[in-house]
Structure 1
């Protein structure tokens, strides 16, 4: 019999930023011990949960090509169901725009576990029809609130399927440092006003031009400009340019800044405005689903922030000049301080804990079964129809034939539980570890296991790996860097638990 709070798996997509992971972390922290959270993420940034003492497991996204794309959803479904079984989870929460087929397969295989879709609103007009088709498969849909919801023109605004909560943000969940502490820890100049510049990563020339003009104007005015990342991939800031920082969660340090110029993504907007930082919002048109233009416009019209399109240089320069005006910054901060505190994370946590306690009503299981049958029919038709007709039905033809699920190239497993660093391995090696070290998942094949997992789980994961990888002969001598940074935190020999080893 279960004792203590229910275990809930909080899953995130990979995405391009920290948004999905931040919202799930906020939900976990807001539960105040009412749940035992386990983070399951496709993002290599999942290592940030270490600082909160939470259990976490990473899985490779489809774009990494670690598992053949045509079999990736089957692999993901096995990873999810095996993790739920290992943790005896009472609920599974997926935060993402599109519920992967692998998530839906896992949902079908575990009918007694409530699967919950945390689905942010403010979608661009006309997008997302295919994703929303599967909303009724979930036991519940959570919709985080948005300060710009009055201008929402996306498909979700017309639906009545979601349990709407307030904005979900780390503000209020993570203690913020005082102004002096934040300045000291970020090693900033205490004698100058400081601008936070965070336009994200984009190849658009207008965004980089906006970045340059912001740096020039604020530097000329005597400000220290601090950037969280380069707005143009592959272009690094020079030593003489703005100071670069890499911290998480950023909300912890926001009191260090006197103003911000930021992309108008969900997390950035709500963290900055609920922290009362005077902000200029710059929409990034590269966002596929998120309607950043509308969010920037609505919030700008409400008096909570300034807004300007980067593709209108004169307008952008004029708004930058307004942000440099102390009177304007004071008005923006005052308006933000009048906002009611964000309650979405607490409301969402209560909803998830409640669903974990009651399970899935039988009516919802029947509805899910019906929709799965419809979905299977569409996929079957898509296999036999010509591509043009199948695409019109919303389901591209499946070209793969049943058979070997494994990739074409063999990989040699390197068993390394308890790593305390980032090892060097070659592309024909598969690192098998339970470590959560920053940088571990960058540029290498990794099978990551939940820290402290049972022997049965280690065996089950070895069986899954055997189905999706061509596990070649193990390395006769492990990479020296792997051996050098291994600890004795796990004395088990994983080679006796189904994993091949030399």
Structure 2
């Protein structure tokens, strides 16, 4: 079947928010497809003057209003030209899903003409001025979308008015940003990268995407005050839309990378514009920041900053007077006040909007178009990916191996290790025989350890859900032959309190492999060795075309402590 065909339409000019948000979702969707070994047919259409940030997808660049409209070209003529180009492009691609952001009607009120060319439409409803959100144009166009995703938390629903008859199409996914936690550089790596001396403080300065008309002036004003103290090393993040002069000096470093967030964990503090993406990325990194508001069309940065300051997440720079800047810098570098900001930021819910948005998008695509995509597998893959990013689950020894590779590796094993109840029965019978051959009715010392491990597995399978073997059935059969008192002890002490998640196929495979272990006393000494032995014990029974290949893979990607 054809690969999922999705067109992302980002309306931007001298801003970057719409494009960055859609790219974050598109990249997560691509990773989820990679997990299933599926290709994608994603396209990006944008009016942003920084279209190069979408380097990993085919990009169709249209001129923005900011650049095209002048004395010779009126806004009406520019809109007419763009409508024709956009309509032809969408008609030619015929996407399964057309994704729009912020303006449901489109930049040129062209969405109603595009809708028939797509099998479904999805809208990212970013927060905007209330008069716009409540307006007839906005509200009437929302009903044309099959799915509406809000990059915010449900407790902010009052800021997103919607008609009751279409409210069921809406889903709050949380803030969206492009950060991949697994790609964050450590503070030590960041300091080495920029050559910071031990006594220097790393201060980050940015005007967001860089397209604001005051960006150059604001950056120079901030840099002047930061570098006045030789103990500060100033790293200036120049967004892809920045067209002004760049600052260079002994303690000034120009950073022009699109993914500046990779360095955020190494900064002691920051000054930044309060645009959506910069705001979410700096808060996610936990960097004490003083934000300043830029005046944009639909984006009320001042409201965002006022709310964040009220919650204690950051400070706000009220103006660019040198005295104000120095006062803010002193406050940000004060250990006690900085720790308070970090503590409040740590209390924020994790921003998983890009990943959740990707799942919702692919679900919609699978519903409206013939596809080999396994929609049911999106949720476990997404949750495992999130755990992987946080470093809580890394079942491989080589950190350079990407998540998608590991997930496919487990999925490939699943084809040869079908979820069969008879294997579970064999495991229980083998345990029962072993118990009877030992010291009569006395429970062996390793029994509780095994039970603890088995209940840990069963609890996770219950949380994930299983198709042919329910967690309760599996739990009961695993414990055949064990002392009833020991089972009750483990169930009451552990089963109902285990909260961690783990990739379910790996756990199920380990359970099914237990009957292959020849030395249960030794392998019960540690959970890590038990799982390793279980996997090694299953190798002879895999019945693959090329067992040597499996052995090589197993050596390269070995299971470690869960």
TM-score by length of structure 1 reads 0.60
> Distance between the aligned counterparts of 2:177 and 2:250, measured in 1?
34
CA distance change for structure 1 residues 267 and 209 in 2, over 3 Å: closer, same or farther? closer
Q: In the alignment, what sits opposite 1:46?
A: 51
2:138 matches 1:139? no
Q: In the alignment, what sits opposite 2:484?
A: none
> Distance between the aligned counterparts of 2:101 and 2:130, measured in 1?
21
> Distance between the aligned counterparts of 1:262 and 1:159, measured in 2?
36
Note the C-alpha offset of 1:71.
4.4
Note the C-alpha offset of 1:26.
1.1
Contact 1:215 1:242 survives alignment (8 Å): no
Q: In the alignment, what sits opposite 1:275?
A: 285
Q: In the alignment, what sits opposite 2:59?
A: 56
Question: Which aligned pairs between 1:218-297 and structure 2 lie closer than 5 A?
Answer: 219-220=228-229, 222-229=231-238, 234=244, 236-237=246-247, 239=249, 242-284=252-294, 286-297=295-306
> Distance between the aligned counterparts of 2:97 and 2:131, measured in 1?
31
> Distance between the aligned counterparts of 1:172 and 1:204, measured in 2?
30
Note the C-alpha offset of 1:344.
0.9
- Specify the SS of the correspondent of 1:44: coil
> Distance between the aligned counterparts of 2:252 and 2:136, measured in 1?
42
| Unmatched tracts of structure 1, length 5 or more | 361-502
Question: Which aligned pairs between 1:404-415 and structure 2 lie closer than 5 A?
Answer: none
Question: Which aligned pairs between 1:75-474 and structure 2 lie closer than 5 A?
Answer: 75-97=81-103, 99-101=106-108, 103-110=110-117, 113-121=119-127, 123-127=128-132, 129=135, 131-133=137-139, 134-145=141-152, 156-157=160-161, 161=167, 162-172=170-180, 175-185=183-193, 187-191=194-198, 192-200=200-208, 201=210, 202-203=212-213, 208=217, 212=221, 215-217=224-226, 219-220=228-229, 222-229=231-238, 234=244, 236-237=246-247, 239=249, 242-284=252-294, 286-310=295-319, 317-359=326-368
Equivalent residue in structure 1 for 2:9, among 3, 8, 11? 11
Note the C-alpha offset of 1:208.
4.2
Contact 2:120 2:145 survives alignment (8 Å): yes
Which has the larger displacement, 134-143 or 77-86? 77-86
> Distance between the aligned counterparts of 2:19 and 2:309, measured in 1?
26
| Unmatched tracts of structure 2, length 5 or more | 34-39, 370-562
Contact 2:287 2:342 survives alignment (8 Å): yes
> Distance between the aligned counterparts of 1:132 and 1:224, measured in 2?
46
Greater fraction of residues in helix: 2
Contact 1:167 1:344 survives alignment (8 Å): yes
- Specify the SS of the correspondent of 2:183: coil
Contact 1:193 1:222 survives alignment (8 Å): yes
Note the C-alpha offset of 1:99.
1.8
> Distance between the aligned counterparts of 1:174 and 1:85, measured in 2?
38
After superposition, the C-alpha distances for 1:30-88 in whole angstroms (9 at most, x for unaligned) are: 222435422222223222232xx333222223443398743444543444444445445
CA distance change for structure 1 residues 88 and 125 in 2, over 3 Å: closer, same or farther? closer
Q: Which has the higher contact order (CA 8 A, sep 6+)?
A: 1
Note the C-alpha offset of 1:169.
0.8
> Distance between the aligned counterparts of 2:320 and 2:186, measured in 1?
36
Contact 1:124 1:153 survives alignment (8 Å): no
- Specify the SS of the correspondent of 1:137: coil
After superposition, the C-alpha distances for 1:94-119 in whole angstroms (9 at most, x for unaligned) are: 12446223541442442x52122212
Q: How many residues align?
A: 348
CA distance change for structure 1 residues 203 and 56 in 2, over 3 Å: closer, same or farther? closer
Equivalent residue in structure 2 for 1:70, among 52, 76, 88? 76
* Bigger radius of gyration among the two: 2
Cα-Cα RMSD: 3.5
Contact 1:195 1:257 survives alignment (8 Å): yes
Note the C-alpha offset of 1:12.
0.7
CA distance change for structure 1 residues 224 and 176 in 2, over 3 Å: closer, same or farther? same
